[in-house]
Amino acid sequence: MKSKVVALICAIVMVGMSIIGCGTSGTSGTSATEAADTSAKRTEVEQSAEVTKITIAVPDSEASYIYSAATEFANRAMEYSNGTLDIQVSGNGSLYGGDTAAGIKQLSAGSLQMLILATSVYASFEPGYNVISVPYMFDDQAQLLEYLNSEIGKELMNRVSDMGITTVGSWTRSFREITNSKRPITSPEDLDGLVIRVPNNSLYVEFFNACGAVTTPMNFSEVYNALQLNTLDAQENPVDVPYVNKFYEVQKYISFTNHMADAWLVGINSSFYETLTQEQQDAITKAGQEVQQWNVDMMEEQDQVALKTLLDNGMESNEIMEEAREKFVEISQSCYPKFKELIEDDDLFNATADFCGKAVD
């Protein structure tokens, strides 16, 4: 009897061990590992699918300030999005055939995702943007930056919303200077009879005609040849433009007239922007805000590099004395009635003039 009990106990133990062994078999362990690997791969695929690609179109080459600022913006936005944005920069206006008006229309329609262009270009669609470029309205970069961040400036920069464009950055540009092949510009009188290229914008034409210059609106792509052939005596642009385009080969003088301000509008198609996650939207707006000051610091440094290059290649530079500057300001203010007609918004003009201390009774 005792032997039968022992045999029964042994049998039970053996069955239990068999059951435990089945539960921990090598086959079952391998399946768990494979399941974990499959899950990890699925997560990687899902994360990859969530990455949104964006291309930013800019009007100038890789050597330009705006290309550098756009690249800085892209890098920061990608970082802040935790890798869910993949942003590339496309230069030379290649995505819109170099036609800035076409570029704005494409951004509005959604065939461009993002575009950075000057507010002076947007003035063709919203005349209010001309107020930023009223000659001698702004004293310096600091005042322009303060204006862009004011309620007046924010309202202005957001006017493109009616076109299906969301403004995610408002950056300053270096003020415009005059280069020419005839003489230093030390006062308005030195512009008398000078043939100067200006953009196709009535604001420029009015001001320089009032200074006695002969204005010639012309596409920028034609300027170098016209200067080389002496069809033009002069042109006006921020200092990086004659630097990047090697105008020192065809111009002798650069005069720091600081006559006009301009700004960059960093725009994204509104419908596309609304498809982004909140994290992605926040990343883009944060980058746009931060690069505003980064851009100011970069321009200040690079303007010195640009000027040195111009001087090293034979150009001569001069500053404008305060007395002469006041003469330029007076000429600009004499044009205010015409400027107001071009801007088509007396309230905006007056508010901006008050902000800058340039109001005229």
Homologous superfamily of domain range 177-260+310-356: Bacterial extracellular solute-binding protein, family 7 (3.40.190.170)
Domains 50-174+262-305 and 177-260+310-356 alike in fold:
yes
Q: Is 200 exposed, middle or buried (0-12, 13-18, 19+ CB in 10 A)?
A: exposed
What average pLDDT does this structure show over 116-142? 96
CATH class of 50-174+262-305: alpha beta
Q: Which of 171, 239, 252, 212 is nearest to 334 (CA)?
A: 212
Q: What is the pLDDT of residue 221?
A: 84
DSSP 8-state secondary structure symbol assigned to residue 162: G
Alpha-carbon gap, residue 68 to 87, rounded angstroms: 14
Q: pTM value?
A: 0.84
**Structural domain boundaries in the chain:** 50-174+262-305, 177-260+310-356
Q: Which of 121, 59, 69, 55 is nearest to 245 (CA)?
A: 59
Alpha-carbon gap, residue 355 to 37, rounded angstroms: 63
Give DSSP secondary structure letters for 72-136: HHHHHHHHHTTT-EEEEEE-TTGGGTT-HHHHHHHHHHTSSSEEEEEHHHHTTT-GGGGGGGSTT
Q: Which of 288, 287, 197, 281 is nearest to 237 (CA)?
A: 197
| Residue 51: its H or E element | none
Residue 13 pLDDT greater than 50, yes or no: no
Q: What is the pLDDT of residue 169?
A: 98
Alpha-carbon gap, residue 38 to 304, rounded angstroms: 57
Residue 297 contacts residue 233 (beta carbons within 8 Å): no
- What region, left, alpha or beta, does residue 98 occupy, with left being phi > 0 and alpha being psi -120 to 50 degrees? left
Residue 71 contacts residue 58 (beta carbons within 8 Å): no
Q: Please report, as a single letter, which amino acid is at residue 287.
A: A
pLDDT tens, position by position, 202-258: 999 999 999 999 999 998 889 999 999 999 999 999 999 999 899 999 999 999 999
pLDDT tens, position by position, 281-297: 999 999 999 999 999 99
